[in-house]
Structure 1
Amino acid sequence: MSRLPLSFACWNYDRTEALQTGRVRPDGIDLNFQALDVEETFFRMLRHREFDVAELSLSSYCVTLGRDDPPFVAIPVFPSRFFRHSCIFVSKASGIETPSDLVGKRVGVPEYQMTAPVWIRGILSDEYGIDPASVTYVTGGEEEPGREEKLKLDLPPRFRVEAIGPTQTLARMLADGEIDALHTARAPSTFYSEPDKVARLFPDFVPIEKAYYAHTGIFPIMHVVAIRREIYERHRWIARSLYTAFVAAQRLSYDQLRVSASLKTMLPWQIAAVEDTIATMGADWWPYGIERNRHVIETFTRYHHEQGLSPRRLTIEEMFAPETFAEFRI
């Protein structure tokens, strides 16, 4: 029986390495793995639908579900997760020292609909009482000018969003005090090059993020894996086949991180970090599937709606292929 060829765009994560090398092959599928930077993958998939399957921003995916003809269907595989307390940066000229100091300020975001800022705004709201509509958002390129929202947004008027000038960058504006803070997925270059001007809102972020996880159980999801809907509708079995393969590839990555004879990464205290993570979050600290992530996903869809990005709160049942709902273990 011939195998179905599918193109797949994703960054070269350790948890997808076995799919890239072919050590794990999805049943019935020839996967053409294209290792691309996430921004390139998102742009090409969202604007032009260039791939059959792709890593996709969770927020962008949720925005597409509000269309009359949603172009993608996701499987509950989450190649990127990240605690985001460390990703709130402030200009030292702003006088911001605590979360409450953000109220009324001008806050940069590369894109309002980016997943990382959605989580940051939600965390600031739930944990610190900061209304997402209490600041003015300033959008544009973080390091290079000219960035625009990948998807057209229709936000409620209470959210104030302004674009920066065609030659400006958020990293430079933060250092110069032209914006007061920055919510982002990547540390701005000026945080490293001009530490006298740019700082983190939470400098000692690790214990804060661990405490957040301890009382919420949330390890924020950033990206999902999405299939072009017309391909999924023609071959619905591929959702389960892909999901099973992603789980198998991730299991190999878990095992490799525990090997101490020769370290998989260049982190000198890798084993200590793994053991500490297991003690804090359990042996399967990066779970795939629906049920173990239901609370995380439902929290995100609440944030998405509260921040004006979804006209209604999305349900998990409409977000993921039904073939992937049954839980199993490799």
Structure 2
Amino acid sequence: MSAALHVAIGRTPRTAALFADPTGFALAEMPNITRAFAPMVREGRYEVSELAIATFLMAKAAGAHIVLLPAILSARHPEASLLARRGGPVRNPEDLRGRRVGVRAYSQTTALWLRGILAERHGLPADALRWVTFEDAHVAGYQDPPWCERASASADMTAMLLAGELDAAIFGSEGAGTPDVLPVIADHEAAAAQFIATHGFMPINHVLVARADVAAARPDALSALLARLRAGGIEVHRRAALSAPLAAAARLCQAQGLTERALTLHEIWAGTPDRFR
């Protein structure tokens, strides 16, 4: 009998059935799935793991022995995540030029997509802003680009924003936890609709990856996992359906200094078993 596949994946409504009946899988329990990302790309701690798309592309470019599986675990519009304090100097994206913008880590995927939107729609490339970071990237050895600075170890991003030490900040789905902030992109719903109309996809946040040795040795187990996830409502695609968002994310990684060059789709899918086409 084959050993259970060791999987780190977030508990969500769409993965609830897998957690309720994990037969065949050893599921890593953790309150925040992002805590699995660094151990996965640095040491291959899990056989399969949820992973942020920016982290995957950076790790793949750095030679990590991981392969992409064609499942989208989360995707969302990032436009409402860029916040500024009420009454502050930032009232629209154009006001951000030269300003200090906080973000948990420069490599955060929400920030990746938002910086792309700022560059494309508002003429603000990544180096037009001063990025203040609070954590390292998940990928070992990555150094933030010169247009970043690190906040002090005890700093709190929300407190810095409210005190005027930051002009704006990017928050995840949890938000800032205060009513004293407003979205910098005021009509963020219209902006999200425009992104879809222009690009034809919703920005991908988290994907599913496997260690390369596991992908080579246990493709049947991976197929079984994807089938269980699909049954729960996770989007499992043919590779061609993911070409546009993957290529866009790869280009943004290169443009923003996360990778030295944009990975090709061939490189992105390198090592993924042929059955997952």
TM-score by length of 1: 0.75
SS in structure 1 opposite 2:237? coil
Cα distance between partner residues in 1 of 2:228 and 2:155: 43
Does 2:86 match 1:97? no
Superposition pairs of residues 61-210 of structure 1, within 5 angstroms: 61-68=56-63, 70-92=64-86, 94-140=88-134, 147-151=135-139, 152-154=141-143, 159-192=146-179, 195=180, 198-210=181-193
Specify which structure has the higher proportion of strand: 2
Cα distance between partner residues in 1 of 2:177 and 2:267: 41
Cα distance between partner residues in 1 of 2:255 and 2:122: 16
Query: 1:316: which partner in 2?
Result: 265
Task: Name which of structure 1's ranges 286-295 and 296-305 shifts more when overlaid on structure 2.
Answer: 286-295
- Name the aligned partner's letter for residue 308 of structure 1: G
Does 2:229 match 1:246? yes
- Name the aligned partner's letter for residue 22 of structure 1: D
1:119 shift after superposition? 0.6
Cα distance between partner residues in 2 of 1:245 and 1:186: 26
Structure possessing the higher relative contact order (Cα contacts under 8 Å, 6 or more residues apart): 2
- Name the aligned partner's letter for residue 149 of structure 1: A
SS in structure 1 opposite 2:154? coil
Contact kept in structure 2, 1:87 and 1:187, CA below 8 Å? no
SS in structure 2 opposite 1:222? strand
Query: 1:39: which partner in 2?
Result: 34
- Out of 191, 194, 206, the position equivalent to 1:223 is 206
SS in structure 1 opposite 2:262? coil
Cα distance between partner residues in 2 of 1:237 and 1:97: 52
Query: 2:15: which partner in 1?
Result: 16
Distance change in 2, residues 1:324/1:220 (3 Å): farther
Contact kept in structure 1, 2:230 and 2:236, CA below 8 Å? no
- Name the aligned partner's letter for residue 250 of structure 1: G
Q: Output one character per residue of 1:72-114: Cα deviation in whole Å (capped at 9) or x when no partner.
A: 1120111111100000011335411121111111111100011
- Name the aligned partner's letter for residue 246 of structure 1: L
1:47 shift after superposition? 4.2
SS in structure 1 opposite 2:105? coil
Cα distance between partner residues in 2 of 1:15 and 1:35: 16
Deviating above 6 A after TM superposition, structure 1's stretches of 4 or more consecutive aligned residues are none
SS in structure 2 opposite 1:7? strand
SS in structure 2 opposite 1:323? coil
1:216 shift after superposition? 2.2
Contact kept in structure 2, 1:90 and 1:200, CA below 8 Å? yes
Cα distance between partner residues in 2 of 1:177 and 1:187: 21
Q: Output one character per residue of 1:217-257: Cα deviation in whole Å (capped at 9) or x when no partner.
A: 12010011111222223334444443333223327xxxxxx
Contact kept in structure 1, 2:106 and 2:144, CA below 8 Å? no
Query: 2:52: which partner in 1?
Result: 57
Query: 1:144: which partner in 2?
Result: none
SS in structure 1 opposite 2:71? coil
SS in structure 2 opposite 1:60? helix
SS in structure 1 opposite 2:74? coil
Cα distance between partner residues in 2 of 1:129 and 1:218: 22
Cα distance between partner residues in 2 of 1:73 and 1:177: 42
Alignment size in residue pairs:
273
Cα distance between partner residues in 1 of 2:82 and 2:151: 19
Gaps of 5+ in 2: none
1:190 shift after superposition? 4.7
TM-score by length of 2: 0.89
Cα RMSD, aligned residues only: 2.3
Distance change in 2, residues 1:312/1:38 (3 Å): same
Contact kept in structure 2, 1:9 and 1:55, CA below 8 Å? yes
What is the aligned-residue identity percentage?
23
Task: Name which of structure 1's ranges 181-190 and 168-177 shifts more when overlaid on structure 2.
Answer: 181-190
Higher Cα radius of gyration? 1
Cα distance between partner residues in 1 of 2:265 and 2:20: 32
Cα distance between partner residues in 2 of 1:288 and 1:177: 44
